[in-house]
Amino acid sequence: MNPFELMSVSEKTTARRALGPVDPEQARIKRPQFLAGGTNVLDLMKAGVTQPSRLVSIAHLGLDGIAWSESEGLRLGATAHNADTAYHPLVSQHAPLLASAILAGASPQIRNAATNGGNLLQRTRCMYFYDVALPCNKRDPGSGCSAIGGVTRQHAILGASPACIATHPSDMCVALAALDALVEVEGDSGTQLIPFTRFHRLPGENPEHDTELPADALITAILIPPNRYAGNSVYLKIRDRASYAFALVSVAVGLDLSEDGRVRSARIALGGVAHKPWRIEEAEALLADQRPRGAVLDRVAERILAGAVGQGGNDFKIELARRLIARAITVAAQGTVTNDTACKDQREERQHG
C-alpha cells in the first residue's frame, strides 16, 4: 500500500495549485494527479505503475454540463460522465458518431463512472506497461520496450517508433478526432483550445508523454464545432469479444453528401492502430465530389494505411483496417448507424432511476 493524500476542491485555480509546481527531483510516478472518474487512475495505482503522492478530486468543479450553441457547437464538460454524454439528446442530435463511439467502449458500469476529460487521458492498455517487472519505455524511460518481439496483437501498425509500439485505447477519442473537436484547457497562461488531432502525440523517443497537455493545465471542456455529418456517420469496431474489449481496429466515418450522393466532405479516423487516433486529411480529400463506392474506397484506404507495418502478431490489422475503412464509408453513405438502441434498456433504467 502506497500512502497518498486525497484532496477535494471546488475551484479550478485551487485545483491546479494543489498539484504544486513540477518538481524535477520527484519521480514521475509520484507526482500529484487530478482524480475524476478514476477508472484508469486507480487501475494504474493498483498495478504500481503510478504512486501519486496526492490525488486532487475535480468532481465538484461544476465542469459537468453539456450544451449547444450555434457559434460554438457542442460543449461537453470535462467531468460529465461518458454515459451521460452518450445518452444526451444534444449529442444524439448533433454528434451521433460520438454517442456510438462512447457506447462501443468499456462497460456500462465504467461508462457511468468515467468522465470525458479522463477518457482523453487514459493510458495505453499495453500489457507490458502494466507489468512493473518488465522493461517499458513509457513507464520507465530508457528501460526498453518489452512489446517489440513479444505479444503484439493489440499493438500499433502506424506511427510507432523503436521506443514504443503502443496504441491509444479510447473509442471516444476516435470520434472526436473525426469531428474536429477542440480540447479546452486552463493553465497558468490562460485558456487555450488545442485541436484534437494535436492533443495526443506519437511516441517518438519520448513515449512517456501521451499528450501535449501542459503540466500545469486542467482540461475544462471538449468542443465539437457545428458539422454536417450527423446524417451519415458510423463507428465500426472490431475486437476480440463482443463487449468490454479494446479495438483491434475501429473506424469512425462522417460524410456530408450532396443530393446526388456525391461527397462534399468526409471525415475518417482510425482507432486501435496507433499511439493516437489516426487521421489523414489527404485521404479524406480523395472522396471530394466522388460517389463513395468502388475503386475510390481502395485509394482512400491505401492512403490512410501508407507506411503501415506489422509487428508479427498484428500483421492482420493492415488488411483488416483496409476492409473496415471501405465498409465504414459504404455504411455511412447509407445513413447514420447508431448502437444506442442496443443500450435502450440501460438508458431507460437511467432515466427512470
User: Mutual orientation of helices 295-304 and 316-333 as an angle, nearest 10°?
Assistant: 130
Tell me if 146 contacts ligand SF4 by CB under 6 A.
Answer: yes
Strands (E), the chain: 5-8, 33-35, 54-57, 66-69, 73-77, 182-187, 190-195, 218-224, 233-238, 249-257, 263-271
C-beta of 136 vs 297, nearer to ligand SF4:
136
C-beta of 113 vs 127, nearer to ligand SF4:
127
Contact pick of 147, 234, 248, 263 for ligand SF4 (by CB under 6 A): 147
C-beta of 18 vs 165, nearer to ligand SF4:
165
Q: Which stretch binds ligand SF4 (CB under 6 A): 102-110, 163-171, 215-223, 295-303?
A: 163-171
Q: How many angstroms separate the CA atoms of 337 and 323, rounded? A: 18
C-beta of 207 vs 254, nearer to ligand SF4:
207
* Nearest-approach distance from CB 148 to ligand SF4, in angstroms: 7
Number of residues that bind ligand SF4 (CB under 6 A): 14
Q: How many angstroms separate the CA atoms of 287 and 111, rounded? A: 34
Q: How many CA atoms lie within 13 A of 196 on its CB side?
A: 23
- Please give the helix or strand (H or E) that residue 117 lies within, else none: helix 116-121
C-beta of 155 vs 322, nearer to ligand SF4:
155
C-beta of 81 vs 138, nearer to ligand SF4:
138
Q: How many angstroms separate the CA atoms of 219 and 226, rounded? A: 21
Report 192-211 residues binding ligand SF4 (CB under 6 A). 207
Q: Fill in the amino acid letter for 288.
A: A
* Nearest-approach distance from CB 313 to ligand SF4, in angstroms: 12
Report 116-145 residues binding ligand SF4 (CB under 6 A). 124, 126, 128-129, 136-138, 145
Report 48-67 residues binding ligand SF4 (CB under 6 A). none
Sign of CA dihedral 88, 93, 98, 100: positive
* Nearest-approach distance from CB 126 to ligand SF4, in angstroms: 3
Q: How many angstroms separate the CA atoms of 322 and 299, rounded? A: 10
Binding site for ligand SF4 (CB under 6 A): 124, 126, 128-129, 136-138, 145-147, 164-166, 207
